C-alpha cells in the first residue's frame, strides 16, 4: 500500500493515475491520505484506482460529538464506499470517536488509541505475542456480531 496525500494527487493526477495502474500489476495499491484537506474533484477521483480513502485527522477528532465533523466523516465514508474503496479513520485517540466511526460504517481505524509508533524489535515482539493468543470460542451461529473497526 502506498499512501499519497490528496494534495499530491490533485497536483499530479495524470502521473498518479499512470503509476497506480502500473503498481497494481505488482499488487501494490493506492491509499489517498489526509482526504478532505485539499480540493480533489470527483472527476479527478474517479480517474484513480485507489483502494483506501483516509479521512483527515482534523475531521476524525471529535466526530463522536461535533455536529460538523460527524456528517463530514459520514459523507467521506460513503464517498469511499461509493468508489469501491475502504474508509480509514486516522488519528483515533478516543473511544467515542472510534465508536462513532464504526456506527457510520468506517472500515479501518488507526491512531494512538490502538498503538503508538515503536521500534521494529518491539513491534515484532508485540506481533508475535498477539499471534500466539488464541481467539475466544466462536459466537453461536444465530448471534449477530457487533460491528467492528479493523485497525491499521
β-pair partners for 151: 109
Angle made by CA atoms 146, 50, 4, in degrees to the nearest 5? 105
CATH class of this structure's domain 2-133+147-151:
alpha beta
What does the pLDDT read at residue 36? 75
Angle of helix 69-82 versus helix 95-104 axis, rounded to 10? 40
Domain residue ranges of the chain, discontinuous segments joined by +: 2-133+147-151
pLDDT tens digits, one per residue of 59-105: 899 998 889 989 999 999 999 999 999 999 999 999 999 999 999 99
Sheet containing strand 150-151, edge to edge, reads: 2-5, 30-35, 50-55, 86-90, 108-110, 150-151
The DSSP bridge pattern shows strands 2-5 and 86-90 to be unpaired
Going by C-alpha positions, the residue among 62, 58, 17 that lies closest to residue 37 is: 58
Q: pLDDT per residue over 45-55, tens digit each?
A: 777 888 999 99
Cβ contacts of 112 within 8 Å, gap of 6 or more: 92, 93
pLDDT at 75 (0 to 100): 92
Q: Which three cell numbers stand for residue 152?
A: 491499521
Segment 134-142 mean pLDDT: 50
Checking if the pLDDT of 38 tops 70, the result is no
Bridge partners of residue 53, in order along the sequence: 32, 87
pLDDT: which is higher, 12 or 54: 54
Amino acid at each position: 500500500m502506498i499512501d499519497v496525500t490528496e494534495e499530491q494527487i490533485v497536483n499530479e493526477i495524470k502521473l498518479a493515475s499512470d503509476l497506480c495502474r502500473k503498481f497494481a500489476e505488482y499488487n501494490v495499491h493506492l491509499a489517498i491520505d489526509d482526504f478532505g484537506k485539499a480540493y480533489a474533484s470527483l472527476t479527478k477521483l474517479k480517474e484513480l484506482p485507489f483502494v483506501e480513502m483516509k479521512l483527515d485527522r482534523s475531521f476524525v477528532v471529535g466526530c463522536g460529538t461535533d455536529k460538523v465533523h460527524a456528517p463530514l466523516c459520514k459523507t467521506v465514508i460513503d464517498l469511499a464506499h461509493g468508489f469501491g474503496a475502504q474508509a480509514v479513520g486516522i488519528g483515533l485517540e478516543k473511544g467515542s470517536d472510534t465508536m462513532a466511526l464504526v456506527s457510520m460504517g468506517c472500515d479501518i481505524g488507526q491512531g494512538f488509541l490502538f498503538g503508538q509508533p515503536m521500534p521494529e524489535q518491539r513491534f515484532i515482539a508485540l506481533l508475535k505475542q498477539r499471534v500466539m493468543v488464541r481467539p475466544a470460542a466462536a459466537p453461536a451461529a444465530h448471534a449477530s456480531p457487533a460491528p467492528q473497526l479493523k485497525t491499521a
